[in-house]
Amino acid sequence: MLNERPQVTGSGFRPGAGRRKVAGGVALVVLLLLAAAVGSMTGLMLVYSVNLPQIDDLTRYRPDTITNLYDTHGRVFGSFALERRVVVNYNDLSPLLREAVVSIEDKNFESHWGINFFRVMGAAYHDLTSKNRAQGASTLTMQLARNLFLSSERTFGRKLQEILLSIQIERRFTKQQIFALYANQIYLGHGVYGFEAGSEYYFSKHARDLTLPEAALLAGLPKGPSEYSPILNPDKAFRRRNMVINAMLEDGKITAAQANVARSAPLGLHIEPPANSVAPWFIEEVRRELERKLGTDQVHEDGLKVYTTLDLDLQQKANQAVLDGLTAYERRHEWRGHLLNVISGGVDMEGFRHPDWTVPPETGTYIHALVTGVLPYQVTARVGNQQLVLTTEDWAWTGFKTADGFLKEGDIIYVHLAQSDGKVLRGTLEEDSGTQGSLMAMDNVTGDVLAMVGGRDFNMSQFNRATQAERQTGSSFKPYVYTAAIEEGATPDQKILDAPTSFGGYTPHNYEGNYLGNITLLKAFADSRNIPALKLADHVGIRKVIEVAHQFGITSNIPAFLPVALGAVEVTLQQQVAAYSAFPNDGIRIAPRLIRRVARADGSPLLEESPEVTEATSAKTARTMMVLLREVTRSGTAAAAAALNHSIGGKTGTTSDFTDAWFVGFSPSITCGVWVGYDNRTSLGDKETGARAALPIWMDFMRTAIAGKDSEVFPGDQKTSAIRLARLH
C-alpha cells in the first residue's frame, strides 16, 4: 500500500501548482504596484514639468543690473537699481572665492549632475516636516534654479521642479557657466546681489582681488545674508567666515598655515559709501526725468549708462561751501540750543540710529551725534558705532566754559569732524537751528547743470530747495525791471530821483532808510535802491516788467502790482540761475539740462538731450545790463566779490524781515545762484542780507569754479557778436 499514489480528487488539486499560482499572483500585484508608481511618478513629472521655464531662455538671461550715472569727466557718482548687481564672468572671480563657495555650499559641484540625491531627499523631508528654517542641502545648481525661476514656498512640487530644472541646467551649461550665473544672482544682504557687487560693497574692491579672509566672508553670506551680515552681526559673521576657512582646509584648498592666518584676521570691512551720497538732489532730479522719458522699469533694471552734466569736483565744493556758509551764519547768532533729546522722547539710547549715520564719518564732514556722557570739560558722543570726544576748545565759541552748563546725555548735537584715528573721532561742536541753503551752478554756453545742492542734509530732508522751493526773490528780481527800462531806451548814465514818493496808497522806503537824491541808474542798481526801481517799473508798466521776466524763463504766476518790482514774487533758484545766465550770454537763454545722453548696457545710444535755446533779450540790452550787474560786484551791495579778481557780475536779494537771502552771479563761463533761509520762513535775523548770508557761499564756490580761467572775458569785452551767433545756432 505504500506504493499507492495519492488519489486525485475531483477538483484536480496539486500542491506544487498551487504554490506557483500564489507566487504568480503576488508577482502580478507587485508589477501592478510598480507600474502604478512609475505611472504616478511619470505623471507627477509631467505635471510639474509642464509649467517649467524653457532652459534655452537662460542663454538669453540678463539679470537686473545697475544704471550708472557719469559726470562730465566720466566718473561714476550715482546709480539706480532695484537689485544692486554688477555682472562679471567666471574668470573675474578670485579662485579663492570660487573654492570657498564650493567648499561651504557644494563640495561635489564639479562631479554631480545637478543634484546630490541623498542630500536632496534629506533636505526635502526636513523642509516639509520641520518648522525651522529650510535646510541648506541644495546644490549650487539647485539654488540657481530656485533663485532664477521658482518661488520660495516649501512644497514637494516646488522641490521636484527644482530637481528637474537643475538636471536640465546641467545638461545645457558647463560648470563654469553655471557657477558664473550663480555668482551673479545670489543675494548677499543690504540690497546687494552677486559677488562682484558684494565685494565692492563690503570691501571696496573687485571680486578678483579678494584675499582669503574676504573671500571666505562673502562665501558664507548666501546661507543667511541678514543673520551673518558683518555689519548687523559681526560676531556671527566672524564665526561663519572661519567655518568656511575650515571647510576649505578640509578640502585641501588651503594649507594649515594659510588657515591659521586667515582665521585670526579681522573682518576688515571697508564699506562702500552709500550710493548717491555726493549729489543726492541732482541724482533725484535725473531719476525723475529719466522715468518720465523711459519708464521706471528700464531706468532701474536695464543697466543704462547715463552721461550727465555734473562736474563731481564742483559738486563736492558746492556741498562744502553751503555747509560752511550755514555754519558761519549759525555762529554769528551764538548758541541757541533747543536740542532734541532721545531720552526725553522716550527713545532707547542703544537702539537709536540717526539718518546721518548711513554715510561713514569722514574728516571735514558735518554730522549729527548722540551725547552719551557729559563732564565739565569733556563730552563723549556716538556716531554710529564710533566714539566722538569733544573738549573745551571744541565748544569755546558757544560762550560756555563747561559742557554740563548746556548739554546733557541723550542730546543730539551737530559736529564738524576734524579727524579720526580709526577709533575715536574728534571735531568741533556746531549748531543746526534749521537754516537751509541751496546752490545751483550751470554752464552759460551749454546749459549744463554743473552742481546742485538742495539743502543742508538729504538724509534729513529730500525736498530740493534749488528746484522745488518757490521763495520771494527780493532785489534779485530788479534786473528784470531794469531790462524792461533799457529796452524802452534807458541808459546806465541816466539820472533818476531817489526821494520819498507814493504810488497811490503805496508808500515805499529804501532798505537803508535814507535817500540819495539825483543819482544815475548805475548807482541806483549797484546799491539796490528801492525807490528808483519802483519808479522805473511804474514808468514802463508793471505788465512790461512781468513780460520781460517771462521772456527770461520765469514761469511763476506774477500778479500785476507794483511791489513785484522789489521781488514780491516767488521764484525757484533754478529759474533765477537760468534767467541770469542770459546776461553774460548776450541775451541768449539756455535752458538748464541735467542729462547729455543715455546709452544702453551694450553702449548703443538710447537718448540724447540737446539744449533748449531761446532769446531772452537783445544783445545790446544784455550788454547794457552787464554794465549794471558788474558794478554790483565792484562798488555795490556785492563789492566783497571783487576780492575774486575776476570778470564777474551779479545781484543780491533780501526780502522783508530778512526771511530770504539771495545772490545770483556769474563769470563769463558759469552762472551760480545761492539761497539761504528757513523752510518755515522764520527771519534769518537782523542784517542777514543776501550780501551777508548768501554771497560768501557763492564766493567760496566760485573760487574753485573760476580756477585756471584767468583769461576769460565777457562777450562785450571782446567787441564781437560771434559768440552770440554761435549760441543762437
**φ/ψ (deg, to 5) at 484:** -60, -40
The sign of the CA dihedral 203, 73, 461, 396 is positive
Mark whether 517 and 630 lie in a shared domain.
no
Share of the chain above pLDDT 90, in %: 67
> Are 347 and 454 in a shared domain?
no
Q: Which residues pair with 660 in a beta bridge?
A: 677
Question: Which pLDDT band, with edges at 50, 70 and 90, does 164 fall under?
Answer: confident
Residue 7 within a domain: no
DSSP H/E element including 212:
helix 212-219
pTM of the model: 0.80
Taken as a whole, the chain contains a residue count of 729
Q: How far apart are CA 372 and CA 381, in angstroms?
A: 5
What CATH number should be reported for the domain holding residue 382?
A: 2.40.50.140
The answer to which of 177-186, 353-362, 411-420, 541-550 has the lowest mean pLDDT is 353-362
Among 139, 101, 147, residue whose Cα is nearest residue 120: 139
Element (H, E) at 518: strand 517-520
Q: What is the arrangement of strands in the sheet containing 76-80, beginning at the earlier edge strand?
A: 76-80, 67-70, 305-308, 595-599, 605-608
Confidence of residue 526 (pLDDT cuts 50, 70, 90): very high
Q: CA-CA distances (angstroms) from residue 565 to 532, 535, 603?
A: 10, 9, 50
Residue spans of beta strands (DSSP E) within 266-407:
305-308, 366-375, 378-383, 386-391
* pLDDT value of residue 300: 86
Burial class of residue 538, CB neighbours in 10 A (0-12, 13-18, 19+): middle
Cβ atoms within 10 Å, residue 720? 11
Do 526 and 406 reside in the same domain of the chain? no
Cα separation of 452 and 573, whole Å? 10
Confidence at residue 42, expressed as pLDDT on a 0 to 100 scale: 45
Confidence at residue 288, expressed as pLDDT on a 0 to 100 scale? 94
* Closest by CA position to 628, among listed 478, 454, 518: 478
For residues 329 and 346, membership in a common domain is answered with no
Give the per-residue pLDDT at 676. 98
Residue 41: inside a domain: no
Whether residue 169 is contained in a domain is answered as yes
> Is the separation of the CB atoms in 139 and 106 below 8 Å?
yes
CATH classification of the domain holding 625: 3.40.710.10
Q: Are strands 517-520 and 495-498 parallel, antiparallel or unpaired?
A: antiparallel
Domain boundary among 264, 290, 310: 264
* Cα separation, 159 vs 128, whole angstroms: 10
Cell of 600: 544702453
Tell me the three cell numbers of residue 534: 519802483
Query: What's the pLDDT score for residue 271?
Result: 78
Calculate mean pLDDT across residues 713-726: 62
Mean pLDDT of 520-537: 97
Question: Which structural domain range is residue 392 located in?
Answer: 341-432
Q: Which residue has the higher pLDDT, 64 or 257?
A: 257
Examine the fold and report which residue of 515, 540, 570 is the final residue of a domain before the chain moves on.
Answer: 570
Report the distance separating Cα 365 and Cα 457, nearest Å: 11
Does residue 231 carry a pLDDT above 50?
yes
- Nearest residue to 66 via CA among 305, 277, 252: 305
Look at residue 1 and tell me whether its pLDDT is greater than 70. Answer: no
**Is residue 649 in a domain?**
yes
Which one, of 254, 262, 270, lies nearest residue 102 by Cα? 254
Contact residues for 18 (Cβ-Cβ < 8 A; gap 6+): none
Distance CA(651)–CA(633), nearest Å, equals 8
Is the pLDDT score of 554 beyond 70? yes
126, 135 contact by CB (below 8 A)? yes
Query: Same structural domain for residues 395 and 421?
Result: yes
Q: Give CA–CA dist 66/303, Å, rounded.
A: 5
Of 546, 570, 594, which residue is a domain's last? 570
666: nearest Cα among 578, 574, 573, 584:
584
Cα 701 versus chain centre, distance: 22
On the question of pLDDT at 248 being above 60, the answer is: yes
Instruction: Give the separation between CA 262 and CA 214, rounded to whole angstroms.
Output: 9
Cell readout for 3 is: 506504493
| 207 and 236 in a common domain | yes
Look at residue 41 in the predicted model and tell me its pLDDT: 44
Q: Compute the average pLDDT of residues 164-189.
A: 86
CA 256 to chain centre: 44
- Grid coordinates given for 264: 585670526
Q: Is the pLDDT of residue 329 over 60?
A: yes
363 and 509 part of one domain? no
Q: Which of 162-166, 334-338, 604-608, 642-646 has the lowest mean pLDDT?
A: 162-166
Question: What tens digit of pLDDT does each residue of 67-111 get?
Answer: 999 999 999 999 988 788 888 999 999 999 999 999 998 888 888
426 lies in the same domain as 455: no
Confidence of residue 154 (pLDDT cuts 50, 70, 90): low
| Model confidence at 230: pLDDT above 50 | yes
Nearest to 190 by CA among 201, 204, 203: 201
Q: What is the CA radius of gyration of the chain?
A: 37
Task: Kindly tell me if the per-residue pLDDT of 688 is higher than 70.
Answer: yes
Q: What is the pLDDT of residue 134?
A: 47
Contact 116, 137 (CB under 8 A): yes
pLDDT at 46: 41
Same domain, 123 and 226: yes
Give the mean pLDDT of 640-667: 97
Residue of 376, 353, 364 whose CA lies nearest to 425: 364
Residue 272 domain flag: no
Sign of CA dihedral 321, 324, 327, 329: negative
| One domain, residues 486 and 566 | yes
Q: For residue range 291-328, list pLDDT tens digits in order.
A: 999 998 899 888 899 999 999 999 999 999 999 999 99
683 — pLDDT class (breaks 50, 70, 90): very high
d(CA 387, CA 113): 53
What's phi and psi for 80, nearest 5 deg?
-125, 140
* pLDDT over threshold 60, residue 579: yes
- Decide if 29 is inside a domain: no
> Is 69 in a helix, a strand, or coil?
strand
Q: Which long-range contacts (CB under 8 A, 24 or more apart) does 112-119 make?
A: 112/139, 112/141, 112/170, 113/167, 113/170, 114/139, 114/141, 114/142, 114/163, 114/166, 114/167, 114/168, 114/169, 114/170, 115/139, 115/141, 115/142, 115/163, 115/166, 115/167
The residues annotated as belonging to the active site are 105, 475
Q: Are 414 and 432 in contact (CB under 8 A)?
A: yes
Taking only the tens place, the pLDDT of each residue in 400-449 is 999 999 999 999 999 999 976 667 899 999 999 999 999 999 999 999 99
Number of structural domains, the chain? 4
The mean pLDDT of the chain is: 87
Average the pLDDT over each of 193-202, 336-345, 720-729 and give the range with the smallest value.
720-729
Residue 565 CA to residue 544 CA, distance in Å, equals 11
Does any domain span residue 1? no
pLDDT classification of 144: cutoffs 50, 70, 90: confident
Structural domain contains residue 51: no
The verdict on 186 and 207 lying in the same domain is: yes
Question: 272: pLDDT confidence band, cut at 50, 70 and 90?
Answer: confident
CA–CA distance, 450 with 670 (Å, rounded to integer)? 9
Q: Looking at residue 166, what is its pLDDT?
A: 77
Between vectors from CA 684 to CA 678 and to CA 685, what angle results, nearest 5°? Answer: 160
- Mean pLDDT within 62-67: 79
What is the rounded average pLDDT of the residues 592-609?
94
Q: How far apart are the first and last CA of the chain?
A: 134
Count of CB atoms within 10 A of residue 354's CB?
Answer: 17
Question: Do 375 and 320 fall into the same domain?
Answer: no
212 vs 174, higher pLDDT = 212
Say if residues 551 and 587 touch (Cβ distance below 8 Å): no
Task: Using a pLDDT cut of 70, give the percent of the chain over it.
Answer: 84
Report the pLDDT value the prediction gives residue 403, as an integer from 0 to 100.
Answer: 96
Answer yes or no: are the C-beta atoms of 199 and 218 closer than 8 Å. Answer: yes
Place of cell 503576488: 26
Whether 625 and 583 have beta carbons less than 8 Å apart is answered as yes
